[in-house]
Structure 1
Amino acid sequence: MNCDGDESVCNHDPSKVYGDTSYDKGSGCDRSDSAEIKGLTVDGVPLERRFNIARSGATTDNVTTTGFKGRRPQIDDLRDIARDNEVRLVALPIGGNDLKFAGILQDCVKAYFYPSLFNKGCRGAKEKELADGLDPARAKVVKSVEAIRNVLREAGQEDGSYQIVLQSYPNPLPLGRDYRAPENAPVPPANYSRYLSAGCPFLDADSDWAHSSVVPRISAMLRGAANEAGVSFLDLQDAFAGHELCSRTTRQAGPCSEAISAVRACESEGRAASGRSEAVEQGVDDDVRRLTGTQLGHLP
C-alpha cells in the first residue's frame, strides 16, 4: 500500500492478499492468503493439502446447488478433493449471506446519512426481514452439512472419519458508546463528525442493534443448526472484542508489531475466542499427518 504524506489518499493492491482471486483483477472469490485453513499449524501437513474453496458473498445454495462468480457449486470442488485425498476437517462459515447481513450494514450506513428516510434507523427497515429469515437459513445450513456428508460418503469416508466445523461470525461493530468518535457533534455545521473524523457512518442505536441483537441471533441460529446436524460449532462472535471497526480500543499496527504476530498475545482481547478455536483444532483425529483440511462457505 502506498499513501501520500498525510495518508489521506492510499493506493492498494488486493492481489497482495487475495492473489489471483482478488475482487480487483481476479476471480472475485477473495480467498485470503491468511485464511484459517491456510494459517492452521499442523506438523506434517503441507499447504498444498489445505484447500480453500470458499467464495466471498456465497450463500448456502452456492455451496450445494448453484454456481457463483462463474464457478460451479463448492460441493463439486469438494467432491474432486475427496476423490484424491482423505478429508479430515471441513470448516464451514455460511448463512450470513442468506440473511443478507451485508445489506443490513449498508442500510445502517444509509440511515446515518439520510435519517429522514430511516426514521427508526436500519433496525426499523431490516428487523422483520432478519427475524423472518432465521429459520429458513437454519434449514439451509443443515442441508449444506448433509450435502457435505453425502459427498464424503460417496468418496468412501465414514461419518466419524472427519469433522465438520460450522462457525459463526465476528461482531464487526462496537456498541454505540464504544466508538472512538461521537455520533454527531452537538451543533451544526459539524454534523456527521463520526464519519468525517473517523470514517464510521453508523448511528449508536443501529450499532447497538447489530452488536447485541443481529450477530447474537445469527450465532444462535448457527449453533442450533450445528446441534441439529450433529457437527462441531465454533462461536466467533466475540473474536473482534475490543477491536471492532472504529472502536475506541482499536489501534493501528505500531513498531512492536510483526507481520507474523500483529498483536502480542498479552495485548490481545480476543484470547477467549482463540481458546475456542484451539479446542476445536485439538479435537481433530490424532493422525494429523494424514489430515486434509477444506474450507467452504464465504469467509475466505
Structure 2
Amino acid sequence: MGAALLSAGAALAPAGTAAASTATQSRHKVDYVALGDSYASAPLVPTQVDATCLRSSQNYPSLVAQSRSATLTDVSCSGATTADMTGPQSDGVPAQLDALDRGTDLVTVTIGGNDIGFSTVLGTCAQLTAGNPAGSPCQSHYAGTGADQITDAVARTAPKVAQVLRGIHHRAPHARVVVVGYPDLFPEDGAGCTSSKVPLAAGDFAWLRDKEKELNAMLARQARHGGAEYVNTYAPTVGHDLCKPTGERWIETFAPETPAAPVHPNATGESAMATAVQGVLTRHG
C-alpha cells in the first residue's frame, strides 16, 4: 500500500515540481574518487601531474571522468598497498580513504599487486634468468618446495582487500564501488619471448601469467562478497602484453620504449582499462 500511495502522490505532483527535480538531477555531476596503486596512477605516462605519486592526466581514472563528465578526485599513488588506504604512505601521502565522504558517488580502486610484492618478484625473476634461461628458475625459487609463496601471498591479501572495501562503504555509504583488476602482462599462451628487454626465463612466463590470474580472481571474489563490482581488464588486453612489438604492446617491457614504467600500461593500455571500466559502468547502469 505504501508503494501505491507514493505512486498516487507522484501523479498529483505539479508538473513544474517534476521538471525542476529532473533538471536538478541532470545538473548533478558525479563525484568520483579514484584509489589505487601505479596501475591506476600510470607512472611516466604523459602528462605527469603529481611528481610524488607519479600520476598521469591520461590514466584510466582521468579518462573515465572525462567520458562521464564527472568531478574527479584522484588519489591513486605509485607504490600503494592496502595499508595506504587507511594510513599515510611512507613519503607522507595522506591515507587514500580520506578523500571519501558521504557525497561520493563513484569509487574505483586498483590494489593488491604491491601487497603480494609483484614488482619484487619480477626483479627476482629477472636476476635468476641468466642462470637458467630455458628453464623456470623463478617458479622453482618461489614454489620449488611444494608451497607456492605467491599463491600464499594472494591468499593473505584477500582479507586486506575485503577490509579496504568495508572502509570505502563506511566512508562513502552511497557510492558505487568498482574494483578494477590488472591487465594482461604476459602472453596468454604462455610461450613468452626472447628479448633483452624482457629478461625472463622461457619456463617462467606461464607461471607468472597464472599468478596474475590468481590475483585477479581473488579481487573479483572480494568485489563480489564486498558489495562492489569488478572490472575485468585482463580479457580485453590479451594480445597486447609486454612481448608484443611496439604499436601492439599496451604493457611496456622492463626497458620501456614508450613513456611508461617498466611492466606497466602505457597510454594505450590505460585507455583500454578506461574502456573496460566504462563498459561495466554503462552496462550495469
TM-score by length of 2: 0.67
- The answer on 1:140 being equivalent to 2:160 is yes
1:54/1:274 CA distance change after superposition, 3 Å: closer
Contact 1:239-1:274 within 8 A present in 2 as well: no
Q: Name 2:10's counterpart in structure 1.
A: none
Distance 1:90 1:166 in 2: 8
Distance 1:151 1:252 in 2: 38
Contact 1:176-1:203 within 8 A present in 2 as well: no
Distance 1:209 1:38 in 2: 33
Distance 1:162 1:17 in 2: 29
CA RMSD of aligned residues (A): 3.2
For CA contacts below 8 A with separation 6 or more, give which structure has more relative contact order. 1
- The answer on 1:233 being equivalent to 2:230 is yes
Runs of 4+ in 1 over 2 A off after TM superposition: 13-17, 41-45, 65-69, 113-116, 175-179, 246-253, 273-279
Distance 1:276 1:252 in 2: 17
* C-alpha displacement of 1:50: 0.7
Aligned residue-pair number: 220
- The answer on 1:63 being equivalent to 2:96 is no
Structure 1: gaps of 5 or more residues: 1-12, 153-158, 184-193, 254-261, 286-300
Contact 1:215-1:237 within 8 A present in 2 as well: no
Contact 1:37-1:51 within 8 A present in 2 as well: no
* Cα-to-partner distance string for 1:214-239 (whole Å, 9 max, x where unaligned): 11111111111111212101111234
Pairing partner for 2:149 from 124, 129, 154: 129
Distance 2:206 2:230 in 1: 25
- The answer on 1:54 being equivalent to 2:76 is yes
- The answer on 1:151 being equivalent to 2:149 is no
SS state at 1:243 partner? coil
* Cα-to-partner distance string for 1:181-214 (whole Å, 9 max, x where unaligned): xx3xxxxxxxxxx21xxx2211121111112x11
* Correspondence list, 1:1-300, <5 A: 14=44, 16-19=46-49, 21=50, 26-27=51-52, 29-40=53-64, 41-42=66-67, 44-45=69-70, 49-76=71-98, 78-79=99-100, 82=101, 86-115=103-132, 120-127=136-143, 128-152=148-172, 159=173, 161-174=174-187, 175-177=189-191, 179=193, 183=194, 194-195=195-196, 199-211=197-209, 213-247=210-244, 251=248, 276-282=276-282
1:234/1:252 CA distance change after superposition, 3 Å: closer
* Cα-to-partner distance string for 1:126-177 (whole Å, 9 max, x where unaligned): 242212112220100010011111112xxxxxx4x32110121112122453
SS state at 1:233 partner? strand
Distance 1:252 1:232 in 2: 27
Distance 1:144 1:275 in 2: 24
1:162/1:18 CA distance change after superposition, 3 Å: same
Distance 2:245 2:192 in 1: 6
* Cα-to-partner distance string for 1:16-49 (whole Å, 9 max, x where unaligned): 4213x2xxxx31x11111112211244543xxx2
Q: Percent identity?
A: 22
Distance 2:169 2:120 in 1: 31
For 2:86, the aligned partner's letter is T
Distance 2:55 2:182 in 1: 17
* Cα-to-partner distance string for 1:218-274 (whole Å, 9 max, x where unaligned): 111111111121210111123431111122585489xxxxxxxx87xxxx9x98x77
Distance 1:43 1:274 in 2: 11
